[in-house]
């Protein structure tokens, strides 16, 4: 059963970042798992903007897509108006080339949520389920102050 901490349906599609739509990304689903850790899923069909002249996705674009997937997953797990504030550190690995106009699946997942930071990972898989790229990251969180007691 899918559980959601908050309604982020307005961010489905480009995740609130028009650049993601321009490179071919569309978020489709999100939620939290049994440990209240967030996840997000997207489809990615790289556009010409994402690619070099030979039709291969540039590594920096992989970073953009993977960073967005991790942020979406983190925000899916944060309550109320809490949200990510920024990416503190990120490592990206590309294992296979991604090509223009091919369909890929993207998934971001929270690994550990702390008070001020969160650790996440994301991956891109091709149509045969093979890993194309992956990333891990550390993210700063913005937490809304607790309401004052009356």
Across residues 137-149, what is the average pLDDT? Answer: 84
Residue 51 included in any domain: yes
Residue 148 included in any domain: no
Residue 2 included in any domain: no
Which are the contacts of 65, defined by CB distance < 8 A and separation ≥ 6?
20, 23, 25, 42, 44, 106, 122, 124
Residue 3 included in any domain: no
pLDDT for residue 34: 79
pLDDT for residue 45: 98
Residue range 15-30, pLDDT digits in tens = 788 999 999 999 999 9
Residue at token pair 């674009």 = 61
Enclosing domain of residue 65: 9-142
Residue 138 included in any domain: yes
Structure tokens at 2: 């899918």
Residue 36 included in any domain: yes
Residue 89 has pLDDT above 50, yes or no: yes
**Please, which pLDDT band fits residue 10 given cuts at 50, 70 and 90?**
confident
Residue 149 included in any domain: no
Half-sphere exposure of 82 (CA within 13 A, CB side): 22
Which are the contacts of 68, defined by CB distance < 8 A and separation ≥ 6?
15, 17, 20, 25, 42, 108
pTM for the full model?
Answer: 0.92
| Domain total in the chain | 1
DSSP class of residue 35 equals: T
The end-to-end CA distance of the chain, in Å, is 37
Residue 4 included in any domain: no
CATH of the domain at 125: 3.10.129.10
Q: What are the E-state strand segments in 48-99?
A: 83-94
Residue among 122, 124, 121 nearest 103 (CA): 124
- CA-to-CA dists, residue 126 to 7, 27, 42, angstroms: 29, 16, 12
57 and 95 Cβ atoms separated by less than 8 Å: no
**Please, which pLDDT band fits residue 2 given cuts at 50, 70 and 90?**
low
Residue at token pair 């939620």 = 31
């Amino acid at each position: 059963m899918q559980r959601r901490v908050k309604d982020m349906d307005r961010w489905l599609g480009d995740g609130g970042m028009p650049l993601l739509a321009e490179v071919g990304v569309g978020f489709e689903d999100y939620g939290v798992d049994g440990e209240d850790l967030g996840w997000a899923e997207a489809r990615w069909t790289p556009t010409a903007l994402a690619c070099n002249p030979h039709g291969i996705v540039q590594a920096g674009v992989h970073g953009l897509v993977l960073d967005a997937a991790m942020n979406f997953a983190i925000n899916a797990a944060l309550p109320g108006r809490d949200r990510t504030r920024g990416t503190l550190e990120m490592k990206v690995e590309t294992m296979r080339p991604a090509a223009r106009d091919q369909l890929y699946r993207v998934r971001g997942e929270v690994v550990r949520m702390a008070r001020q930071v969160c650790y996440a990972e994301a991956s891109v898989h091709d149509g045969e389920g093979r890993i194309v790229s992956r990333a891990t990251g550390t993210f700063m969180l913005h937490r809304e102050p607790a309401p004052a007691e009356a």
